[in-house]
Chain A
Amino acid sequence: MGSFLHDIVANADPYFLQILVNIGIAIILALGLNVITGLTGQLSLGHAAFMSVGAFASAILTIKTGLPFTLNLILAGGISAMAGLLIGYPILRLTGDYLAICTLGFAEIVKVVFLNLEITNKALGLTVPPAKTSFPMPVIVWICAILAIVAITFLQNSRFGRALKAIRDDEIAAESMGINLTRYKLSSFALGTFLAGAGGSLYAHFLSYINPSDFSFLKSVDILSMIVLGGLGSVPGAVIGATVLAAAPEFLRFMSQYRMLVYGALLVFLMVFRPNGLLGGVNFVDLVLRKMGKKPHIPLAGEREGGR
């Protein structure tokens, strides 16, 4: 099985493969932030920091212990989630923009600390040895991405997911319905940062080189743009947003130096014309049922606003 997959990967166009892996990792990261910001409504501007924690944790684990990669991946996610809980516990009391700036501040602190630590090789960055696994990295990335998509889709409609959405829509109402705000907010933060850490670990082992400066504020913004562009709180939205924005730099490559210029203008343009994201406010189940003539469309109260 392993060698068969290796053959496929070896025969694939490396450039195409690179884009494909970027998309896979972006999906995992976007789904993680989607749990925190899209479902629970807690704006985080520091998602890249947790990715950074996961990437470095996993790289150091590979260097020092040589654990099998599956274990390493879970551990990296776990360490990242621990960091998320540690920072989340005090700051999740804050609301709205105060929370956002705190996560941003935390991200900057993580970056600067990693730039100064001996174990992360300071500003030089770490070279990551190949992962200990019989599967090729691109396959692992996509297995993880699909697992994440399935897990978050199920989560959304579970009791847990509904509680998170209740918190997003109205904290006070949710609390009076018996939802423990702190516990649910923390769990969603832990879950989101776990995915960020796992994404970071995959990123580290695919690129085999990481630098603290890779996980800057702009990276966090990138991930946030993915979920807002796709439509907040929607799994297909996060997947499409991640796909579009992870592939966009490649498709815009032909204009080389105008690339970021166009990217910035595109963000403004898309937001002005689709303020709720590409798929914001689109209900897929409803859409399919209506196509089949099964169910008349009755907009629910507040549905038209989509997201927050």
Chain B
Amino acid sequence: MLLQQLINGVALGSTYALIALGYTMVYGIITLINFAHGEIFMAGAFVGLLAVSILKLNIFVAMLLAMVVSMSIGVVIELIAYRPLRRSSRLSALISAIGVSIFLSSLALMIFGADAKGFPSTAFPVRQIKVGEAEISSLQLLIIGISALLMMGLEFIVKKTKIGKAMRATSEDYNTAALMGINVNRVISFTFALGSALAAAGGVLVGVLFNAVSFNMGLMAGLKAFAAAVLGGIGSIPGAMLGGLMLGVTEVLGVAAGFSSYRDAIAFTILVLVLLVKPTGLLGRKIQKKV
């Protein structure tokens, strides 16, 4: 029973982690809470859904397509709504992000209507695998596997490639990185592309998992993923993964323990409690304030 719930929690948590990574990377570089990120996740889910149901693509190809489309959405959003505000106050950029988020979700409402849409049942044939007491569906394995794969890919890009090095340098010190000849604008666009791709993958996975894609799915998922990013220590990539998994597992365990009507509050309660003990999150660096 516990094993079963743990697996459910890890599957849900890895989707939170995928979204949280986008928040944390963008925050690490331009200290902006990208409130439109949840809507990119929603857009990814819709592109995946259309690709599967109308273009009749394989679910994996659909996911790739969703990632590519979301990448361009993310980059365009940054170009239009955030880049002109880079030198002004952070709150203005935040409001701009909220504006984008409202715009995208109402656009989705207009195009796709208010009711949730499901993936066709042929999209991914679900098989149950018995492991001891627990029953794992092949879907959960797929979600955990793809998330792990994407996160390893991200780790590789950030740690081993030249652009990854540039990303780390930019997040360390924006101005110095620019002085060292790093094209900061390109790095920021790349970060948005990377984060959006991960969110889109998360969107398709969540869409298949709950079999529901709707215009407002980005709001709660975005808030929880953001909570996960803060829980792990915002700006820290391993922190986002850890935070996502922790929130997913506690949420599932909380629901299993009979608090299902408090489902959406569980994640935030954990968050508030952790921040009270560790004010910069689990893996966040302690910020030394200098006079």
Interface positions of A (Cβ within 8 A of B): 37, 43, 90-91, 93-95, 97-98, 100-102, 104-106, 108-109, 112-113, 115-116, 171-173, 217, 221, 224-225, 228-229, 232, 257-261, 263-269, 271-272, 275-277, 305-308
Contact = CB atoms under 8 A, between A and B. Distances in A.
Interface in B56-97: 80-81, 84-85, 88-96
B277 to A, nearest CB: 10
A308 B31 CA distance: 14
Contacts of A109: 265, 268-269, 272
B99 A261 contact: no
B272 A271 contact: no
Contact of A272 (B84, B107, B289): B84
B272 A261 contact: no
Nearest to B233: A98
B227 A105 contact: yes
Nearest to B263: A112
A100 B234 CA distance: 13
Contact of B106 (A95, A102, A106, A261): A261
Of the candidates B102, B234, B263, B291, the one having the most CB atoms from chain A within 10 angstroms of its own CB is B102
B279 A93 contact: yes
Interface residues of B, number: 51
B131 interface: no
B109 to A, nearest CB: 8
Contact of A271 (B31, B92, B226, B265): B92
Contacts of B55: none
A226 to B, nearest CB: 10
A155 B166 CA distance: 47
B261 A266 contact: no
Contact of A264 (B27, B90, B106, B280): B106
A21 B92 CA distance: 28
B223 interface: yes
Contacts of B281: 98
B91 A308 contact: yes
B47 interface: no
